[in-house]
Amino acid sequence: MSEEPLTLNQVRKNAKAKMKGICGVFGVCDGEPNRICQGNSYGKPLGFGGIGSGESFANNSRALKAIRLKMNLISEHFIPDTNYNFFGHELAMPIMGGSVSGVNSFGGDKVITEVDFCNAVIQGCKLAGSIGWRGDTYSYKLACPYGLNAIAESDGSGVKIVKPREQEVIKEYFKCAEQSKVYAVGIDIDGFGSYMMAKHNCPVFRKNQKELKELVQSTTLPVILKGIMTVEDALMAVKTGASAIVVSNHGGRVLDCTPGTASVLAEIVKTVDGKIKILVDGGVRTGFDVLKMLALGAEAVLIGRDIVRAAIGGGSRGVQLQMEYLQKDLAKAMLMTGVRSLQDITPVLLMK
């Protein structure tokens, strides 16, 4: 990146130019059917949108939009505290860069290379006082672990998510992750629905409880299971000994017609009853969305598409600006709803 973008608006403008025909970089990324990315669905390459009709992607935003916040005003003034402890590591916010991978989905090497993309996410999140997660796709090999390299170069500040590949392959990835000193590892257990893995004949599988338990026990790192959308799967995840789950429908990219994550989160939180850490992603675009997810019971959120756009539009500086914007927006949302710290965020803040 020759010129350092100074504002988030500039970053978005750059991304819009580079992602022409792939993503319109609209003010709000909501997956509605008239969006460029959604026009790529139904028989065309998945691109940046959602699978099939695109409803699962759009439902994430719709579910968040349907929730209202209570404005609580009268008290002494305070500065909201957004600090968050993630597996013993202090972060400036309960917001992390999501495990998005595969530049082919957003324009290929001409737009950004996988190496630059991974570095931008990991370094940009770190500059903002948070961390980035890295995903896994058909082009990732143990011998060429883009995401792990980026995390290793950043002193381990990141999370590595592996696709549900063969058991022994996942264990090898976990061993490499231990050497890279990552904060945690995980599996996107919904990843056997991946369009890209299928297109490139990369074997991915459903995993049963016993197999997941074996993976959890194979590493000294905390293990995260990403892609939970039902109370049944959440309860089985608890039994595997995993340290956390991510309530996620993969940004609406693996199964058509799912509800939005904000619609299923509260019931999962209630049923799991504190037995496992719960994170969430899907359609989170503002600090107000973050506050809603936390009030529904998640401990932290992940940002997918907005982090991609920020990396494309401004490299690590773009990602830093995006994350700082979200942190400030969350602080504003907390101030206006009368909550001083993350611990004070409860469902009482929400109205239907």
Ligand X SMILES: Cc1cc2nc3c(=O)[nH]c(=O)nc-3n(C[C@H](O)[C@H](O)[C@H](O)COP(=O)(O)O)c2cc1C
Encode 259-285: b = buried (16+ Cβ within 10 Å), e = exposed: bbbbbbbbebbeebeeebbbbbbbbbb
Nearer to ligand X, 126 or 253 (CB): 253
Nearer to ligand X, 204 or 272 (CB): 204
Nearest distance from C-beta of residue 25 to ligand X, angstroms: 13
Tell me the C-alpha distance between 130 and 92, whole Å. 6
Instruction: Kindly list the residues in this chain that would bind ligand X in the complex (CB under 6 A).
Output: 48, 60, 98-102, 105-106, 135-137, 161, 188, 226, 248, 250-251, 253, 281-284, 303-305
The amino acid at residue 135 is: G
Nearest distance from C-beta of residue 152 to ligand X, angstroms: 18
Nearest distance from C-beta of residue 283 to ligand X, angstroms: 5
Tell me the C-alpha distance between 288 and 269, whole Å. 20
Nearest distance from C-beta of residue 338 to ligand X, angstroms: 27
Nearest distance from C-beta of residue 348 to ligand X, angstroms: 26
Nearer to ligand X, 112 or 339 (CB): 112
Nearer to ligand X, 47 or 339 (CB): 47
What phi, psi does 195 have (nearest 5°)? -60, -45
Nearer to ligand X, 162 or 339 (CB): 162
Cα dihedral: 350, 302, 233, 50 (round 10): 100
Nearer to ligand X, 97 or 129 (CB): 97
User: Do β-strands 158-162 and 132-134 pair in parallel, antiparallel, or remain unpaired?
Assistant: parallel
Chain-centroid distance of CA 68 in Å reads 23
Q: 205 near 192, Cβ under 8 Å?
A: yes
Nearest distance from C-beta of residue 99 to ligand X, angstroms: 4
Nearest distance from C-beta of residue 285 to ligand X, angstroms: 8
User: Do β-strands 89-91 and 84-86 pair in parallel, antiparallel, or remain unpaired?
Assistant: antiparallel
Tell me the C-alpha distance between 74 and 78, whole Å. 11
Residue with the CB atom nearest ligand X in the bound state: 304
Nearer to ligand X, 126 or 285 (CB): 285
Tell me the C-alpha distance between 172 and 160, whole Å. 12
Nearer to ligand X, 103 or 339 (CB): 103
Nearest distance from C-beta of residue 49 to ligand X, angstroms: 8
- Find, among 174, 25, 195, 37, the residue nearest to 101 by Cα: 195
The residues with which 301 forms a beta bridge, in sequence order, are: 95, 280
Tell me the C-alpha distance between 96 and 64, whole Å. 18
